[in-house]
Amino acid sequence: MIWRVGQRLHRDKYEIKEELGRGRFAITYRAANLDGKDVVIKTLNPDLLNQLSNQERDRLKSGFADESRKLALCKHLNIVQVIETFEEGDLKCMVMEYIPGDNLAKIVPPRGFLPESEALNYIQQIGKALIAVHQQQFLHRDVKPENIILRAGTHQVVLINFDLARKFVDNPVSSRGNWVDKFTPIELYSNSARQQAQRGPWTDVYSLAATLYFLLTGKQPQSAIDRQDNNQRLTPPQELNGTISDRVNQAILKAMELKPEKRPQTVEEWLKELGLQTSNFSLSKLPWTQPLWAWILEIMGVLALFAALISGIKDGTDLFKDWFPEKSTPTPTSQPTSSSLTQPQNK
């Protein structure tokens, strides 16, 4: 059952406002809570559930719930935050924050491509988010420009739309041709035991590199399926944009190797190959994410420190004068004049 606009869920706690998107496994909606604040509700696609056996359906629902709880543990500034989970009828639902802004898939085309420094900034933020995800023994499995939102009014990007179901159901049309995603590594096209065993952080590394490819060229790379089955060549991004540095060009090609073992095995490793910082990095310290009040407090702190420094210099100067007074110069006394030496005589 597809929810209609105005329908209320979870004991009237949420009201559906619109359908935001429909993927292979899930549907997302924008809804409003009791305070009128926008949220996003994600649930499994009923059309998919109707195609599965009872056993497959139960396995998918259970897996979706488990993965939702795991995602809720991934607390990071660049990861969409989970608010709660609930059941509506026989559907598992996950409520997440609503992030105003556009995704990178919409932002890049009007500009052609992004400057390398801007693109690397976004990749660094998402890379740090993926490190937090992998620390929870969790994979995103669907990293691509469409799933990265640039928060309105900032330079902060947020990773959304974790693929919570691909692990639990095999889509037979996805393995060859009917569904081809240019950002998906070869090991995600099937749920065979062999392919599942090949998945790890390097799986998301491939997709993140393909995303950087798009940001820097405005073009989607050749798909892993076409490269494997049709022996298509992966066009080096530098051939499409001559301003890309050699270092970044080589890092992208290495991370997009078809064989998982040939890629950087962790996001940290790949970020270092890009020349990006992987530790002691706090997005809250970046200027564009600081709220105005934080800026004012920091400026006041700097001014107070400067005033204290000036005061200290002045006090030190006064103390120096007290310890080492200057030699006083005798004040000249008035000399008697000749007229004063002449005393009047009494006659």
pLDDT in tens, 7-20: 999 999 999 999 99
**pLDDT for 64:** 87
**pLDDT for 341:** 39
Yes or no: say if 10 and 4 are a contact pair by the CB < 8 Å rule: no
> Tens digit of pLDDT for each residue in 133-156?
999 888 999 999 999 999 999 999
Q: What angle do CA 76, 79, 215 make, to 5 degrees?
A: 125
Return left, alpha or beta for 112; rule: phi > 0 is left, psi -120 to 50 is alpha, else beta: left
For 192, the 3-state DSSP assignment is: coil
Instruction: Name the token pair of 137.
Output: 């023994």
- Asked if the model's pLDDT at residue 335 lies above 70, the reply is no
- Nearest of 246, 276, 282 to residue 264 by alpha carbon: 276
- Asked if the model's pLDDT at residue 346 lies above 50, the reply is no
Report the distance separating Cα 168 and Cα 174, nearest Å.
14
User: Span 10-292: which CATH code?
Assistant: 1.10.510.10
> Tens digit of pLDDT for each residue in 117-134?
999 999 999 999 999 999
Report the distance separating Cα 145 and Cα 266, nearest Å.
20
> Tens digit of pLDDT for each residue in 244-261?
999 999 999 999 999 999
Return left, alpha or beta for 14; rule: phi > 0 is left, psi -120 to 50 is alpha, else beta: beta
Q: What are phi and psi of 245, to 5 degrees?
A: -70, 155
**pLDDT for 174:** 38
For 288, the 3-state DSSP assignment is: helix
Give the residue ranges of DSSP H helices in the chain.
46-49, 54-72, 104-111, 116-135, 193-197, 201-217, 224-229, 237-240, 246-255, 267-273, 292-323, 338-341
**pLDDT for 246:** 98
For 87, the 3-state DSSP assignment is: strand
> Tens digit of pLDDT for each residue in 193-207?
777 888 999 999 999
- Going by pLDDT thresholds of 50, 70 and 90, the confidence category of residue 5 is very high
**pLDDT for 199:** 92
- Nearest of 46, 82, 61, 81 to residue 164 by alpha carbon: 61
Residue, of 62 and 32, whose pLDDT is higher: 32
Q: What is the rounded average pLDDT of the residues 184-188?
A: 94
pTM: 0.76
